[in-house]
Chain A
Amino acid sequence: MLRYLDRPINVAVALIALVAFAFGVGSWKLGFWTDDGPGPGLLPFAAACLLLPILFLILREEFDDKERFHPHPLFAVVILCVYATVIPYAGFLIPTVLLIVAWTRLFEQQSIVRGAILSVLLIAFGWVVFVYLLKVPMSMLPELR
């Protein structure tokens, strides 16, 4: 099982098959035909049904696939998702400083001080461009929301 999941194409095919199944069920409920012609479920149902044999074809393709997952990007995806979950509650500043420090430390092997300096500089640049110049309202700290 783990060997199967090591190949990105297998993971992608499995996820796409799940998506196709979910959309297929959803479109079934929407209906394929109305008195005036095709219903809202027809095209998505057709697309979902077509996807399944195509996914089968992809799995059977002889493809020189040496790609394997690398732990860094997978860990980065987790960090980014946690960041996106936390940021509405914690404001922009603290999660973003932590994100950049963690990013530079874990993935770029830079010191925490370097990461902290970079985060301050980048956030200051972004704040000047977006918040100050372009007037985008952004909650920087939780108390100020």
Chain B
Amino acid sequence: MIDSLQQIVYGLSLATLPQNLMYAFIGCLLGTLVGVLPGLGPITTIAVLLPLTFQAGDQLGAIIMLASIYYGAMYGGSTTSILLRVPGEAASVITCIDGYEMAKQGRAGPALSIAAIGSFFAGTVAVVALSFVGPAFAKFAVSFGPPEYFALAVFGLVLSATIGGGSPARGLCMVLLGLLFGLVGIDTITGVERFTMGVPAITDGIDLVPLLMGLFGIGEILYNLEQKGGLSTLTSKIGRFLPNREEWKESAGAIARGSGLGFLVGLIPGGGAIIGSLLSYTVEKKLSKTPEKFGHGAIAGVAGPEAANNAAASSSFVPLLTLGLPGNAVTTVLFAGLLIQNVQPGPLMLVKHPDIFWGVIASMYVGNVMLLILNLPLVGLWVQLLRVPTWILGPAVLLIAIFGSYSLRNNWSDVGLLMVAGGAGYLLRKAALDAGPFAMAFILANILDTSLRQSF
């Protein structure tokens, strides 16, 4: 316990260094700025902005910026859910139900602020819990050998395939497809080239970042081309900003329960945030004295799921940082960011990179505070962004993705991969095949293969 507290202080001393505070600020600002744009969810935001983090001076700065983009994008996703009924990700679908109803009634201000405050509270509770649970997980996982890793990776992939939304068959299909593409490149055990067809650009494997940017970023832009007139633009007024006394009373319990529920559910690899927010909504409706208000603008229906969503987002870092297993599509992109910074998430991360482990956890505290400071006064600005016409948004995101993917290796072949992956992302979206399990399996393919073969 005392050891953990000392480590948190150590982490805070790193996260509050001026340059790291600056990266956290830039990350939160950019994450919210892009995440709030209609049609761009957190995963698209992180995937598109990922190359920018490579430009940060050091590993810790880059990872803090990446994590801050994540928090910012999550908040941006809530804003579009409430104001436009455009959920940035599956977990925000629940927020749409009552959040949008509140916005229609001219209560968008209280809905937005309770989402920010609930997220802040839940994020803080989750990060405190994470500080203690994380090292315990890592300590336990240090004794894992290849068979345990193989079992864990299979467990994570099966969960992601079956509870991530859609049918289990579709989820499993995407997992298997991700495994196949993830195994392209040199086999680390025998040195044999697998499925490269002699193409030098993929000898080391298919590059992860353009693939993710294409699947999630370009795929989303292409899908949005069909939504002519379907993409909402903001018409309603925001109204007063802070909740009144009664709304506070209704929200407080929901936020507390949502935080606890979300944290526990987020520890499970698969679809923690979605289940967390859905569970929280069900619990709040059951506990409410006025369940008939749910679906018609009940503030507890925004506060609870938003808190659960955020707590689950923070606790999903536990399997990522301590076991090296990304629990959902968003943490898969974060996993990619860590790998690119030469940081291998897993039980040894705490031993090999304690500065990064504790720095990232401490940056979550900092990020939560920064988001609250940034978002409450700037809500007017984010609302203005919702009025940006879609004919500017599409080309802008496209160009950022092109610049970003090229800047990875200064190689135009990455732009080609980006476009092909974009086409694939669009097809998968149209076919209701979730790219999330694909991305997870793609990343875990080599871990799975190596641990399987080392188990004999």
Question: Total A-B pairs in contact (CB under 8 Å)?
Answer: 168
Docked-complex contact A104 and B391, CB < 8 angstroms: yes
Alpha-carbon separation in the docked complex, A51 to B407 (Å)? 35
**Chain B residues with Cβ under 8 A from A43's Cβ?**
179, 183, 445, 448-449, 452
Query: Could you tell me which residues of chain A, from 51 to 74, have a CB within 8 Å of some CB in chain B?
Result: 51, 54-55, 57-58, 61, 63, 65, 67, 69-70, 72-73
Check: B137 CB closer than 8 A to any chain A CB. Answer: no
Residue B170 CB within 8 A of the other chain: yes
Residues of A within 8 A of B176 (CB): 20, 47-48, 50-51, 54
CB of B432 within 8 A of CB of A103, answer no
The secondary-structure label for the interface of chain B is helix
Closest B residue to A48 using CB positions: B180
Contact A80 B218 (CB under 8 A): yes
A8 touches B427 (CB 8 A): yes
A141 close to B (CB within 8 Å): no
A40 contacts B194, C-beta separation under 8 Å: yes
Instruction: Report whether A84 and B415 are in contact in the complex, using a CB–CB cutoff of 8 Å.
Output: yes
CB of A144 within 8 Å of the partner chain? no
Specify which of A15, A44, A83, A119 is in contact with B179 (CB 8 Å cutoff). A44
Complex Cα distance A138/B190, Å?
37
Q: How far is the CA of A41 from the CA of B374 in the complex (A)?
A: 51
Say yes or no for B403: interface residue by CB 8 A criterion.
Answer: yes
The answer to whether the Cβ of B373 comes within 8 Å of any Cβ in the partner chain is no
Binary CB contact string for chain B from 206 to 243 against chain A (1 if under 8 A, 0 otherwise) = 00000000000010001101100000000000000000
Residue among B190, B194, B412, B432 making CB contact with A84, cutoff 8 Å: B412
Of the candidates A61, A77, A126, which one forms a contact with B167 in the assembled complex, judged by CB atoms under 8 Å apart? Answer: A61
B420: Cβ under 8 A from any A Cβ? yes
* Chain B 402-438 per-residue mask, 1 if CB under 8 angstroms from chain A, else 0: 1110110010100110111011001110111100000
Complex Cα distance, B183 from A59, in Å, reads 26
Of the candidates A51, A73, A110, A126, which one forms a contact with B226 in the assembled complex, judged by CB atoms under 8 Å apart?
A73
Question: Residues of B contacting A110 with CB < 8 Å?
Answer: 391
Q: Say if the beta carbon of B348 comes within 8 Å of chain A.
A: no
* Cα-based distance from A73 to B167 in the complex (angstroms): 25
Q: What are the 6 closest A-B residue pairs judged by CB atoms, nearest first?
A: A37-B456, A108-B391, A8-B430, A12-B431, A77-B423, A84-B416
> 17 A-B Cβ contacts within 8 A?
A16-B177, A19-B177, A19-B180, A38-B452, A42-B452, A55-B173, A61-B167, A76-B225, A84-B412, A84-B415, A88-B412, A104-B395, A107-B394, A108-B391, A126-B399, A134-B407, A137-B410
